[in-house]
Chains A and B, each alone.
Chain A
Amino acid sequence: MPAAADVDLDRAWGLDRQVALRPEPFGALAYHFGTRRLSFLKSRVLLDVVETLEQHSSAREACHAAGVGVDELPRYERALGSLAQAGMIRPREEL
């Protein structure tokens, strides 16, 4: 299981250029054309966070703007961590 340490919430993140997102009632499907991996985003709020990462100076800010409460933040940190580990999102300077 990915550790929370996989994502630094205070850094700027973005979606990998080879990733496509498809909204679904439960959240979204994310597909990486390079690694051919499929990930499931299990909430619409998470989709919101991921889609707007690039508009914010940090992942924390993106979570906040999407309405993620402080008590929910650890869950979102883990989710972003597993997306980072799968190469779906990257630190902005690596994009």
Chain B
Amino acid sequence: MENASILDVSRLKKYFNTPQGIVRAVDDVSFSVHRGETLALVGESGSGKTTIGHVIMGLYAPDAGKVLYKGKYDLSIPIRRRPLELKKDIQIVFQDPGTSLNPKRMIKDIISLPLRVHKIDDGVKTYESVAKILDYVGLGTEYMFKYPHELGGGEKQLVAIARALAARPSFMILDESTSALDVSSQAKVLKTLIRIQKELSMTYLLITHDLGVVRNISSRVMIMYLGKIYEEAPTERFFSSPLHPYTKMLLSSVPTLSEEDERIKPQGVESVGEIPSAVNPPTGCRFHTRCPFAKPICSQRDPPDFILREGHIVRCWLYE
């Protein structure tokens, strides 16, 4: 079942009407997520990465394109009209556990809600199931009777993960799930996520801007800029030979800790300019306004996929 896809997104578009004009948040995007992998969707603000996550969750209806889950479920259906078994199968962990956990509920109630909604019955009492789940994510049973405000950021995020796991999903969206945490808590959460994936063959879509996290948890990387995917590669290859000028700019902007990390950063692509507004995105390749290698064609025509070896895809006229 290696490489069998669990999610297929094709020609997805999602636009928003705003007083300033139409924001093309996601503009003709296609990709697949393979079973058991961690696909990292990387981009800066306004890239549309979170919008994609929300479309998959059914929080936004796509304006065009197809989103197919497990070959049979149409994800253009909003969440409230989805069958219960589909809702159960796709879970999300948000960035800020401070706002995604109900402050008035004890942890035991937060985690038992999905058990009740999805009628998950292990033949034991609900609270025994809750204790098992808490234990599984590395929090002790003593957390059952605490409120979210009594926990630290990392612990709250582990509760959010436990709540997602309680529904027994096969696919989880991690939307900047470790971005708000200290490095120490982040390390614990990452370790837990990696263990969960190994033990439960979980599939993750990791939405993030943090390339260090990407390197450590994902198996494949996609780079988004202003609503489009510009590069896609297996993680190892992505870091050893990034191709798109934007990818290079991103990598070379990361402040690093060691000389080994410094050496991996591409040379000669200094960060310049500002991310343009998604209301009037540049014509042709949307990155051409900041690209040091832009040619006349870049401002005229949107580059197609150039498929290189080992699943490395780049959308850039330099690789024509």
**A is bound by B:** no
